[in-house]
C-alpha cells in the first residue's frame, strides 16, 4: 500500500523571497502548484492525503473544497500554531467540508497527545529532520507506526535495505528507478510506505525568484512534476494500491 501525501505550505514558510511578492501572490503559487498536482492525480485516478498548513486554512477554502471534491483527504500541517488556533481551524474546516479532520502532521512532542486526542484527531504523522545534513539519516524505531493515547502515530517510512528515509528531498534527488525499488522493498517489509512531497517543490524558480540553497532548487519545478507523473504511471502499471491515510488506518 502506498500512502501518498502532500504538505500544502505557503512557500514563504520554506523559502525566502528575494523579490517583492505579496502574501496573496505567495499563496497563489501554492494554489497553482496544488491544482497541477490534483490534475495529475485525477488523470491516474489515485487518491492522496493533503496536509494543509494551519495558518493558511482560512485563505485556501476554495482549494480545500476542490481537494475534497476530488475524493482526497484533508489533514493539518503544524508549524507554529497554538492549540487554540488549531481547534479554531479544525472547526472551521470541518464545517466547510462536512467531514472530520482526522490527522495532523507535526514534529514529535509538539503537543501533549491527550490534548490532540481531545481535539478529536485520530492520527499524527511525524515530521523528521530534513536539513541538508540529515536527508539520509538512519532512524531507529521498532515499528512504522504505533498506538499511543488513542492516537495512531505514523513515523516516516524508511527503506529497509538502503536505510534511506522517504522525505520530500529524497524523492527530488534520488533516481526514480532506485526510488521505485525502495518503494517495492518497503511495502514487502512494512506492508505500506508513506511518501510525502511539499507543494513549494513544484514551484517554477525561473519565474519566481527565491533565495535558497542549491539543493532545494535542484530537480524542482517542472522536472519534479514530470518525475512525479512518471511515478504515478508506474504505480498504475504495477497495480500498486494507494490509499488515503484515514482509510488505511481505520
- Position 133 scores a pLDDT of 44
How many other C-beta atoms can be found within 10 angstroms of the C-beta atom of residue 142?
Answer: 6
Name the average pLDDT for the chain. 89
54 vs 47: CA distance, rounded Å: 22
SS (H, E, C) the chain: CEEEEEEECCHHHHCEECCCCCHHHHHHHHHHHHHHHHHHHHHHCCCCEEEEEHHHHHHCHHHHHHHHHCCCEEEEECCCCCHHHHHHHHHHHHHHHCCCCCEEEEECCCCCHHHHHHCCCCEEEEECCCCCCCCCCCCCCCCCEEEECCEEEECCCECCCCCCECCHHHHHHCCHHHHHHHHHHHHHHHCCEEEEEEHHHHCCCCCCCEECCHHHHCCCHHHHHHHHHHHHHHHHHCCCCECCHHHHHC
Q: What is the pLDDT of residues 137-183, one digit of tens each?
A: 555 555 677 899 889 999 989 988 888 888 888 999 999 999 999 99
207 vs 204: CA distance, rounded Å: 6
Q: Report pTM.
A: 0.92
Segments making up each domain of the chain, as ranges: 2-249
- Position 132 scores a pLDDT of 44
User: Residue 37 — pLDDT band, cuts 50, 70, 90?
Assistant: very high
2-249 CATH fold: TIM Barrel (3.20.20)
User: Residue 250 — pLDDT band, cuts 50, 70, 90?
Assistant: confident
Amino acid at each position: 500500500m502506498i500512502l501518498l501525501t502532500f504538505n500544502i505550505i505557503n512557500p514563504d514558510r520554506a523559502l525566502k523571497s528575494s523579490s517583492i511578492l505579496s502574501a496573496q501572490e505567495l499563496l497563489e503559487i501554492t494554489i497553482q502548484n496544488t491544482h497541477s498536482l490534483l490534475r495529475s492525480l485525477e488523470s491516474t485516478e489515485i487518491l492522496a492525503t493533503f496536509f494543509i498548513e494551519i495558518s493558511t486554512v482560512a485563505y485556501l477554502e476554495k482549494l480545500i473544497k476542490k481537494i475534497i471534491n476530488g475524493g482526497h483527504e484533508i489533514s493539518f500541517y503544524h508549524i507554529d500554531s497554538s492549540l487554540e488556533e488549531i481547534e479554531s481551524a479544525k472547526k472551521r474546516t470541518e464545517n466547510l467540508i462536512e467531514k472530520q479532520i482526522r490527522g495532523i502532521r507535526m514534529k514529535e512532542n509538539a503537543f501533549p497527545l491527550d490534548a490532540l486526542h481531545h481535539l478529536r484527531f485520530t492520527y499524527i504523522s511525524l515530521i523528521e529532520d530534513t536539513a541538508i545534513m540529515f536527508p539520509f539519516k538512519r532512524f531507529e524505531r521498532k515499528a512504522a507506526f504505533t498506538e499511543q493515547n488513542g492516537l495512531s502515530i505514523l513515523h516516516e517510512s524508511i527503506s529497509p535495505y538502503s536505510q534511506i528515509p522517504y522525505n520530500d528531498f529524497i524523492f527530488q534527488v534520488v533516481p526514480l528507478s532506485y526510488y521505485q525499488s525502495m518503494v517495492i522493498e518497503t511495502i514487502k517489509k512494512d506492508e505500506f510506505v508513506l511518501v510525502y512531497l511539499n507543494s513549494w517543490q513544484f514551484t517554477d524558480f525561473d519565474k519566481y525568484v527565491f533565495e535558497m540553497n542549491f539543493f532545494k532548487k535542484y530537480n524542482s519545478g517542472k522536472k519534479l512534476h514530470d518525475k512525479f507523473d512518471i511515478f504515478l504511471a508506474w504505480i498504475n502499471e504495477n497495480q500498486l494500491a494507494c490509499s488515503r491515510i484515514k482509510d488505511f488506518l481505520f
